[in-house]
């Protein structure tokens, strides 16, 4: 029995990974157990934005783990204050509540919105509504999948929590129509990642900000994937110059080595939490805080936000030029681009497998979109190496599609 078969024999089949057994990674490269090296154009859904095994992250990980790793929030630890202060500074928010995973941070945001709706807006307890967008992906808890529009995420997991109203993504008028006196918040991704790197129309976020101001509603933005430089700004909502009432961050915050997330908001919103109202054994532990702080400093000092903007524009232009009739659209911002494959010409899933064989690791979503999201540390030479292989694969796929037609 080989290594993949051994894993499959004991591991729940809630994923369908490519048949590649990875053994180690360095920078933007991943190597399998057969010694084959491939370019990572996925970055663990942005969790590895700083690349694999960043030396500064590993140094902090090692030093802090030897000193103090996990206690609990029952005690103060030295790294937490500096970490949260830096996170608030780069986000423009006043306070942060640290958690572990993105889904936990989303759940924290939901709690904050409902309590704010009840205590501040005077919505009857249990009646608060949160407006969400179709095509969203905010996590996998039962509350969150309850307001997903993806049936496979929901099937057999009900009953689901009430209080969520779903509207089309990118439709300002639909959100305006959905607002009622019981609306506490709008919870939305500035760019929908799992849906296929879907970018809303220009001005959409500004319109939502205006609606929230007009109706006394919180605007909560989930930037777990889109934040921390992925789109060429620290946060995707900064492309439209707005400020969120609540901000959800994670993935890249852990430097590619540890789960770190947080919900950020104003002091007024965060003051609604008191001891005993919310918590997490691991959330905000010393090791997580030290890693999170160093991740933010690395992003800043290595100018990864600016590099994402520059390299991302180049990557998108190259992908647009090489896909031609193979793609229905190429969309994204920064080093986050989705190529929507025309299913009449080729299969996105088949292309992902061919790309892997050619040395480029990425992933399809919804059967039609190939996602490109390399580490923000990628060099132009490394990007060109990967794009050259993508071009060869796409050229052959387009020719095969033409012959089949």
pLDDT tens digits for 67-81? Answer: 999 988 899 999 999
Name the least confident of 120-134, 350-364, 388-402: 388-402
264 and 163 within one domain: yes
For residue 34, give the CATH number of its domain: 3.90.1150.10
262 and 207 within one domain: yes
- pLDDT bracket for residue 46 (50, 70, 90): very high
164 and 109 within one domain: yes
210 and 128 within one domain: yes
For residue 221, give the CATH number of its domain: 3.40.640.10
126 and 111 within one domain: yes
- Given a cut of 70, whether residue 169 has pLDDT beyond it is yes
Neighbours of 367 (CB within 10 A): 11
Q: Per-residue pLDDT averaged across 41-54, rounded?
A: 97
370 and 352 Cβ atoms separated by less than 8 Å: yes
Q: Per-residue pLDDT averaged across 125-141, rounded?
A: 97
Q: What span, in angstroms and rounded, lies between the C-alpha atoms of 152 and 165?
A: 19
273 and 97 Cβ atoms separated by less than 8 Å: yes
97 and 262 Cβ atoms separated by less than 8 Å: yes
291 and 356 within one domain: no
| pLDDT score of 400 | 82
- Given a cut of 80, whether residue 120 has pLDDT beyond it is yes
Indicate left, alpha or beta for 115 from its phi (over 0: left) and psi (-120 to 50: alpha).
alpha
Choose one of 274, 301, 328: the last residue of a domain.
301
275 and 356 within one domain: no
124 and 224 within one domain: yes
Label the pairing between strands 360-361 and 37-40.
parallel
* 380-383-385-387 Cα dihedral, nearest 10 degrees: -130
Q: Which residue has the higher pLDDT, 294 or 400?
A: 294
Q: Vertex 285, ends 50 and 301: CA angle to 5°?
A: 30
Return the closest-CA partner of residue 217 out of 240, 188, 249: 188
Spell out the residues 6+ positions from residue 38 whose beta carbon is closer than 8 angstroms to its own.
20, 29, 30, 31, 32, 356, 359, 360, 361
| DSSP structure class, residue 120 | T
62 and 35 within one domain: no
- pLDDT bracket for residue 1 (50, 70, 90): confident
Name the least confident of 49-53, 92-96, 334-338, 362-366: 362-366
- Given a cut of 70, whether residue 155 has pLDDT beyond it is yes
Q: For 290-326, how does the pLDDT look when each residue is reduced to its tens digit (9 = 90+)?
A: 999 999 999 999 999 999 999 999 999 999 999 988 9
Choose one of 250, 269, 301: the last residue of a domain.
301
Name the least confident of 191-195, 363-367, 379-383, 385-389: 363-367
Choose one of 275, 301, 327: the last residue of a domain.
301
| pLDDT score of 220 | 98
Q: Per-residue pLDDT averaged across 210-224, rounded?
A: 98
Which spans in 68-189 are helix H? 80-91, 102-119, 142-145, 151-154, 172-178
| pLDDT score of 378 | 98
**Tokens read off for 388:** 């050259």
Average pLDDT, whole number, for the chain?
96
| pLDDT score of 402 | 58
- pLDDT bracket for residue 367 (50, 70, 90): confident
| pLDDT score of 71 | 87
Q: Per-residue pLDDT averaged across 376-402, rounded?
A: 93
Q: What span, in angstroms and rounded, lies between the C-alpha atoms of 93 and 71?
A: 27
Which spans in 275-379 are helix H? 286-301, 304-323, 348-358
**Tokens read off for 330:** 């190429």
Domain assignment of residue 232, given as a range? 55-301
What is the biggest distance separating any 2 CA atoms in the chain, rounded to whole angstroms?
A: 67
**Tokens read off for 272:** 């609604």
At 22, is the secondary structure helix, strand, or coil?
Answer: strand
15 and 67 within one domain: no
- Given a cut of 90, whether residue 192 has pLDDT beyond it is yes
**Tokens read off for 395:** 């050229």
Count how many domains the chain has: 2
| pLDDT score of 72 | 85
Q: Per-residue pLDDT averaged across 273-295, rounded?
A: 96
Burial class (CB in 10 A: 0-12, 13-18, 19+), 405: exposed
205 and 61 within one domain: yes
| pLDDT score of 399 | 87
Spell out the residues 6+ positions from residue 157 whose beta carbon is closer than 8 angstroms to its own.
142, 145, 146
Q: What span, in angstroms and rounded, lies between the C-alpha atoms of 329 and 325?
A: 10
Return the closest-CA partner of residue 394 out of 332, 348, 329: 348
234 and 151 within one domain: yes
Active site residues: 137, 222, 251
Q: Which residues pair with 222 in a beta bridge?
A: 248
| pLDDT score of 403 | 59
């Amino acid at each position: 029995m080989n290594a993949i078969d051994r894993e499959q024999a004991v591991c729940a089949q809630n994923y369908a990974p490519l048949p590649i057994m990875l053994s180690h990674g360095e920078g933007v490269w991943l190597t399998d157990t057969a010694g084959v090296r491939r370019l990572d154009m996925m970055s663990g859904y942005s969790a590895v934005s700083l690349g694999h095994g960043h030396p500064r992250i590993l140094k902090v990980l090692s030093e802090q783990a030897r000193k103090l790793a996990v206690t609990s929030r029952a005690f103060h630890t030295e790294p937490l204050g500096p970490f949260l202060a830096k996170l608030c500074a780069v986000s423009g928010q006043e306070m942060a509540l640290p958690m572990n995973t993105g889904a936990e941070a989303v759940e924290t945001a939901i709690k904050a919105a409902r309590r704010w709706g009840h205590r501040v807006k005077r919505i009857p307890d249990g009646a608060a509504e949160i407006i969400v967008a179709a095509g969203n992906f905010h996590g996998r808890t039962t509350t969150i999948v309850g307001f997903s529009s993806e049936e496979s995420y929901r099937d057999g997991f009900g009953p689901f929590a009430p209080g969520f109203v779903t509207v089309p993504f990118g439709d300002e008028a639909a959100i305006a129509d959905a607002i009622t006196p019981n609306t506490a918040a709008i919870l939305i991704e500035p760019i929908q990642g799992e849906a296929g790197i879907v970018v809303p129309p220009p001005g959409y976020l500004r319109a939502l900000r205006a609606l929230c101001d007009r109706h006394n509603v919180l605007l909560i933005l989930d930037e777990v994937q889109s934040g921390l430089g992925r789109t060429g700004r620290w946060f995707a909502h900064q492309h439209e110059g707005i400020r969120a009432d609540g901000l959800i961050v994670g993935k890249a915050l852990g430097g590619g080595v540890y789960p770190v997330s947080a919900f950020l908001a104003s002091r007024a919103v965060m003051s609604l939490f008191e001891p005993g109202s919310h918590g997490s054994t691991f959330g905000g532990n010393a090791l997580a805080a030290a890693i999170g702080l160093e991740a933010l400093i690395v992003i800043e000092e290595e100018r990864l936000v600016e590099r994402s903007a520059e390299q991302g524009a180049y990557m998108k232009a190259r992908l647009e030029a090489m896909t031609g009739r193979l793609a229905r659209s190429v969309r994204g911002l920064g080093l986050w681009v989705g190529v929507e494959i025309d299913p009449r010409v080729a299969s996105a899933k088949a292309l992902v497998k061919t790309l892997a064989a050619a040395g480029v690791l990425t992933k399809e979503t919804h059967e039609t979109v190939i996602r490109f999201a390399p580490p923000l540390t990628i060099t132009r030479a490394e990007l060109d190496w990967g794009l050259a292989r993508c071009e060869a694969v796409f050229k052959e796929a387009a020719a095969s599609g033409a012959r089949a037609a």
